Structure 1
Amino acid sequence: MSLKDQLTEEMKLAMKARDELRLSVIRLVRSAVKNREIDQKRELDDQGISEVIASLVKQRRESIRMFGEAGRADLVAKEEQELQVLLAFLPRQLDREEVGELVVKAIAASGAQGPKDMGQVMKALQSQVAGRADGKMVSEVVREKLAQV
């Protein structure tokens, strides 16, 4: 089942269950996917849909950080609930340790010598971590590992 079909099915289930939060998040995702399809003038495949969901996840994480700094616990809670719904549609997220292992392999494969080779390592990692890890966390891990080389 494609991701688009899965979103449609989940939307139907959320309607039947009267789960307003889940329904609104799924509608948001479908709308964002439709907008991206209009922009690109082509239908998105599962990878493209995952990228849209990943960008929505990134927005939620940023909102949680900003609302937390502003002391808005009510909005933080709402954003965290939306984040959990979005994460259910993405592949299992890599933790910092798993990213570290991939970074070590990428450094060895690319022959990186230090921080100046960060671009090479990031390029080698992109296909392995796309949609499975936060880009900011990946770049932090790469920077740490390259400083040790």
Structure 2
Amino acid sequence: MNILDKLNQDMKDAMRNKEKQRLMVIRSVKSAIQNEVINKGENLSEDEVLTVLTREMKQRKESLHEFEQAARTDLVDKTNAEIQILTEYMPSQLSDSELRQIVEDTVSETSASSKADMGKVMGAIMPKVKGRADGSKVKEYVEQSLT
């Protein structure tokens, strides 16, 4: 079952079970996907849907950080719940050791030797870990590897 089918099925289940928070998050994601379909003019591939999901997750994590700084515990709780729901649709995350191994392999493949090669390495890694690792963590590991 692809991500869009799972979203549709879970939306129906959330309506039946009167899960307002879950329904709101799913509708929000489906809306973002639909906006992307409209912008593109054609249906999205599974990778493109994953890109939209990743963007939605990133927005919520950034909001969470802001809410924590403002000491808005009500919004922190709400945003944490949304992140938890979105996590169900994301592919399983890579462990630190798996991510480090991918970084090391990619640095070797690209023959990168200094921080000047960072863009080349990041460009090669990101398609490999799409949706399975946080970009900031990848960047951190690449920087460590290139120093």
TM-score higher than 0.5: yes
Partner of 1:90: 90
State the distance in 1 between where 2:54 and 2:113 align.
31
SS at match of 1:14: helix
TM-score normalised to structure 2 length: 0.95
State the distance in 2 between where 1:80 and 1:141 align.
26
SS at match of 1:104: helix
Pair 1:123 & 2:129 matched: no
Partner of 1:6: 6
Partner of 2:145: 145
In the TM superposition, what is the alpha-carbon distance from 1:146 to its structure 2 partner? Answer: 0.8
In the TM superposition, what is the alpha-carbon distance from 1:3 to its structure 2 partner? Answer: 1.5
1:38-53 correspondence runs (5 A):
38-53=38-53
Q: Could you say what the CA RMSD is over the residues aligned between the two structures, in angstroms?
A: 1.0
Structure 1's unaligned 5+ residue stretches are: none
In the TM superposition, what is the alpha-carbon distance from 1:131 to its structure 2 partner? Answer: 1.2
In the TM superposition, what is the alpha-carbon distance from 1:22 to its structure 2 partner? Answer: 0.7
In the TM superposition, what is the alpha-carbon distance from 1:133 to its structure 2 partner? Answer: 1.1
In the TM superposition, what is the alpha-carbon distance from 1:134 to its structure 2 partner? Answer: 1.3
Partner of 2:114: 114
SS at match of 2:107: helix
User: Structure 1 segments of 4 or more deviating over 4 A?
Assistant: none
Identity of aligned residues (%): 38
1:65-76 correspondence runs (5 A):
65-76=65-76
Aligned residues: 147
1:108 partner letter: S
Task: Verify the 8 A CA contact 1:50 1:90 in the aligned structure 2.
Answer: yes
Task: Verify the 8 A CA contact 1:96 1:137 in the aligned structure 2.
Answer: no
1:27-46 correspondence runs (5 A):
27-46=27-46
